[in-house]
């Protein structure tokens, strides 16, 4: 597919506008763990500008809210073209 000048593919627009979304935890009476793995995480090394590759593991025990998975995937993809150390990425996601 040829990319036309000035046209942003829908996926890139979704990533650019990504915000974490949540939904009500319908099983608050039970304590359980939610796990998310992103085996193809990429960001840019702020020193060299080259891509950094990693696997991100997120585990949490939901209380009142759960993180909506699609919004989390889009949020993770926002780091693709960002110059940031992997060690900092972990803390940005945690915050």
Mean pLDDT of the chain: 89
Active-site hit among 38, 52, 66, 95 = 52
Whether this prediction's pTM lies above 0.75 is answered by: yes
Instruction: Assess whether pLDDT exceeds 60 at residue 1.
Output: no
Instruction: Assess whether pLDDT exceeds 60 at residue 25.
Output: yes
Cβ-Cβ contacts under 8 Å for 11 (sequence gap 6 or more): none
DSSP string, 17-50: T----EEE-TTTTS---EEEEEEEEEEE-TTT--
pLDDT at position 9: 72
Domain regions of the chain by residue span? 14-94
Q: Is 95 part of the annotated catalytic residue set? A: no
Find the range with the poorest average confidence among 10-14, 37-41, 74-78.
10-14
Active-site hit among 45, 66, 88, 95 = 45
Nearest CA among 75, 69, 63 for reference residue 25: 63
Q: Is 88 part of the annotated catalytic residue set? A: no
CATH of domain 14-94: 3.30.1130.10
pLDDT in tens, 44-78: 999 999 999 999 999 999 999 999 999 999 899 99
């Amino acid at each position: 597919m040829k990319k036309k000048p000035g046209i942003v593919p829908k996926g890139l627009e979704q990533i650019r506008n990504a915000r974490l979304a949540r939904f009500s935890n319908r099983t608050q009476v039970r304590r359980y763990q939610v796990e998310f793995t992103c085996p193809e995480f990429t960001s840019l090394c702020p020193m060299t500008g080259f891509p950094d590759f990693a696997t991100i593991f997120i585990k949490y025990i939901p209380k009142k809210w759960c993180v909506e998975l699609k919004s989390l995937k889009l949020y993770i993809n926002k780091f693709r073209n960002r110059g940031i150390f992997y060690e900092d990425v972990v803390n940005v996601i945690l915050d």
